[in-house]
Amino acid sequence: LIEHGGTQARAVGQIAFPKSGQAYTVGLTGAPGAGKSTLTAGVVATLRATGDEVAVLAVDPTSPFTGGAILGDRVRMQEHALDSGVFIRSMATRGHLGGLALATPEAIRLLDATGFPWVLVETVGVGQVEVEVAGAADTTVVVVNPGWGDAVQASKAGLLEVADVFVINKADRAGVDETRLDLEHMLDLASSSDTDWRPPIVASVASTGDGVGDVVAAVGDHRQWLEAGGRLEAKRAGRRRAELGAVLTERLTERVRALEGGVALAQAEEAVAARRVDPWAAADELLASLD
Ligand SMILES: Nc1nc2c(ncn2[C@@H]2O[C@H](COP(=O)(O)OP(=O)(O)OP(=O)(O)O)[C@@H](O)[C@H]2O)c(=O)[nH]1
Ligand SMILES: [Mg+2]
pLDDT beyond 70 at 75 = no
CA of 33 to the centre of ligand 1 (A): 5
The minimum-distance atom of ligand 1 relative to the CA of 58 is 23
Q: Is the CB of 169 under 6 A from ligand 1?
A: yes
pLDDT digits 0-9 by tens, 28-41: 999 889 999 999 99
Q: Is the CB of 2 under 6 A from ligand 1?
A: no
Residues 217 and 203: their CA atoms lie apart, in Å, by 12
Range among 24-28, 77-81, 88-92, 145-149 rated most confident: 24-28
Task: Identify the pLDDT of residue 110.
Answer: 96
Contact 42, 209 (CB under 8 A): yes
Residues 139 and 232: their CA atoms lie apart, in Å, by 10
Burial of 17 (0-12, 13-18, 19+ CB in 10 A): middle
Percent of the chain at pLDDT above 90? 64
Residues in Cβ contact with 13 at an 8 Å cutoff, skipping those fewer than 6 apart = 2, 106, 109, 110
Task: Identify the pLDDT of residue 76.
Answer: 60
The minimum-distance atom of ligand 1 relative to the CA of 205 is 31
HSE, side-chain direction, 13 A CA sphere, residue 103: 27
Write the CA distances from 126 to 120, 134, 156, 187, integer angstroms: 18, 11, 10, 20
Task: Identify the pLDDT of residue 67.
Answer: 39
Residues 53 and 13: their CA atoms lie apart, in Å, by 22
Contact 9, 106 (CB under 8 A): yes
Four-point Cα dihedral 16, 19, 24, 27, nearest 10: 10
Q: How confident is the model at residue 131 (pLDDT cuts 50, 70, 90)?
A: confident
